[in-house]
């Protein structure tokens, strides 16, 4: 018999794990809805011309799909699996010019990247995004901060800080140290500051053409010195933070951080990143304003857009390590036993009544030997069992038993179901 293996960088998510994940996703979806973000889905794959040339490094990790027929045999490609949710969103907006603006959408779907698998990094994983298209109002930027704040609080991940910066500030810093032509280099190096420290960043900057005096001047700006040409960007950030506080964001959980760069090239204004306090150093959320990307599809020069993504896979991992995942081994609430073939119809009728009342029910495939049926339910984490013996079948009643406490109720199935609502 041939051995079977999972593709590298993928996982089988068994029911207990899926119940945890779905519960977390539902908490996040409710926060999205509170802010007016409507759910949307897009295809798993896009035309290759849609995906290429839009997201820098991610494009190198794209899974490409061969053409059908002779073209595929020659290695020709016409489609690819999506590597993020932002590019498909841009395509949707370009194809639907009649969408009322601002357009606020949320999306939780898998994406694929041909990355090297390691702990917490997979080739197939979920992204969890919100975006607002068609407005430059600072309210839209502030909502990104507020949504992340409220979602993390609702999940119990309360020890976090949301860092905020502005791409124009970074541009002004690069210009002020005489490194305008090295702006991308400065941004990419600063993006690694948490990992390699100032020494590592300075080493990279010098290797890429800056000198020690330029680096020294850069650090003075990072440490708070006024940035020539940066006053307008700083006012914009203050407005966004004030609006976020008006929306209920805790002032102790948000701050301006001039070192925050965010690596993607398409950010044009404010950028955001949420980090947890303690041993975990990676970000769990990130985003920003990207007013140029949508226009690459629609042919317009500038379409205002801002969004943020929750690192939902990292959040699952951290909540598991911190013991914060909800204990949901099964969504089945009641295990309906079959006392005998003579009472089977009565048990099935009781199961139907309970389902009609909104109770999740699973019917045993065993007949008789109630102890084994109770063991089946307990082994799957089902909290209640239902018994309908000859006396109950004759009386039109059932017995509902709590397997943990031993407490039980007797009555018609629809009335007994009320104990669980």
pLDDT digits (tens, 9 = 90+) for 176-203: 999 888 888 888 888 888 788 889 988 9
Highest-pLDDT range among 28-42, 63-77, 192-206 = 28-42
pLDDT higher than threshold 70 for residue 266: yes
Q: Which pLDDT band, with edges at 50, 70 and 90, does 375 fall under?
A: very high
What residues does each domain of the chain span?
15-321, 334-420
Q: Which residues contact 398 (CB under 8 A, 6 or more apart)?
A: 347, 350, 386, 387, 388, 392, 410, 411, 412, 413, 416
Task: Return the CATH number of 334-420, one of 3.40.50.1000, 3.30.470.20, 3.40.50.800, 3.40.1280.10.
Answer: 3.40.50.800
pLDDT higher than threshold 60 for residue 57: no
pLDDT higher than threshold 60 for residue 104: yes
The one-character DSSP state at 251 is G
pTM: 0.89
Q: Alpha-carbon distance 51 to 321, whole Å?
A: 35
pLDDT digits (tens, 9 = 90+) for 334-362: 999 999 999 999 999 999 999 999 999 99
pLDDT higher than threshold 80 for residue 1: no
pLDDT score recorded for residue 263? 63
Q: Among 171, 125, 343, 379, which Cα is nearest to 267's?
A: 171
Please tell me the CATH code under which domain 15-321 is placed: 3.30.930.10
pLDDT digits (tens, 9 = 90+) for 206-219: 988 888 899 899 99
Burial 142-160 (b: 16+ CB within 10 A, else e): bbbbbbbbbbbbebebeeb
102 preceded by a cis bond (ω within 30 of 0): yes
Q: In what order do the strands lie in the sheet with 64-66?
A: 45-47, 77-81, 64-66
pLDDT higher than threshold 70 for residue 408: yes
Angle at 115 between CA 113 and CA 313, to 5 degrees: 70
Q: Alpha-carbon distance 268 to 316, whole Å?
A: 30
pLDDT digits (tens, 9 = 90+) for 292-321: 888 777 776 678 999 999 999 999 999 998
pLDDT higher than threshold 90 for residue 389: yes
pLDDT score recorded for residue 343? 96
pLDDT score recorded for residue 182? 84
pLDDT digits (tens, 9 = 90+) for 213-258: 998 999 999 998 999 999 999 999 999 999 999 999 999 999 999 9
pLDDT digits (tens, 9 = 90+) for 137-175: 999 999 999 999 999 999 999 999 999 999 999 899 889
Please count the residues of the chain: 421
């Amino acid at each position: 018999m041939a051995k079977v293996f999972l593709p590298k960088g993928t996982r089988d998510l068994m029911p207990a794990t899926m119940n945890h994940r779905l519960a977390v996703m539902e908490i996040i979806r409710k926060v999205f809805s509170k802010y007016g973000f409507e759910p949307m889905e897009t295809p798993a794959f896009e035309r290759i011309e849609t995906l290429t040339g839009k997201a820098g490094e991610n494009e190198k990790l794209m899974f490409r799909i061969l053409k059908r027929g002779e073209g595929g045999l020659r290695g020709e490609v016409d489609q690819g699996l999506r590597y993020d949710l932002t590019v498909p969103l841009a395509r949707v907006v370009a194809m639907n010019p009649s969408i009322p603006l601002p357009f606020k959408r949320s999306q939780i779907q898998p994406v694929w990247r041909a990355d090297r698998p390691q702990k917490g990094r997979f080739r197939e994983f979920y992204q969890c995004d919100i975006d607002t298209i068609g407005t430059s109002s600072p309210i839209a930027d502030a909502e990104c901060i507020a949504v992340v704040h409220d979602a993390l609080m609702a999940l119990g991940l309360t020890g976090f800080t949301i860092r905020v910066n502005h791409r124009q500030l970074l541009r002004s810093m690069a210009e002020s140290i005489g490194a305008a032509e090295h702006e991308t280099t400065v941004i990419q190096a600063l993006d690694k500051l948490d990992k390699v420290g100032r020494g590592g960043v300075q080493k990279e900057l010098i290797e890429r053409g800056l000198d020690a005096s330029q680096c020294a001047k850069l650090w003075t700006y990072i440490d708070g010195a006024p940035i020539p040409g940066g006053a307008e960007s700083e006012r914009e950030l203050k407005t966004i933070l004030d609006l976020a506080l008006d929306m209920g964001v805790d002032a102790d959980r948000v701050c301006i951080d001039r070192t925050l760069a965010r690596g993607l090239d398409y950010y044009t204004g404010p950028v955001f990143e949420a980090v947890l306090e303690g041993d975990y150093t990676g970000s769990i959320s990130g985003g920003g304003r990207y007013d140029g990307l949508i226009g690459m599809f629609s042919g317009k020069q500038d379409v205002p857009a801002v969004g943020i993504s929750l690192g939902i896979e990292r959040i699952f991992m951290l909540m598991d390590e911190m013991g914060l995942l909800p204990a949901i081994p099964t969504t089945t609430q009641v295990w309906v036993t079959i006392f005998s073939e003579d009472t089977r119809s009565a048990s099935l009728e009781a199961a139907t009544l309970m389902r009609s009342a909104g109770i999740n029910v699973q019917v045993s495939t065993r007949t008789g030997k109630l102890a084994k049926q109770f063991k089946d339910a307990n082994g799957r984490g089902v909290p209640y069992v239902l018994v309908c013996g000859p006396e109950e079948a004759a009386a039109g009643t059932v017995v509902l038993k709590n397997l943990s406490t031993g407490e039980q109720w007797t009555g018609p199935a629809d009335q007994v179901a009320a104990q669980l609502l």
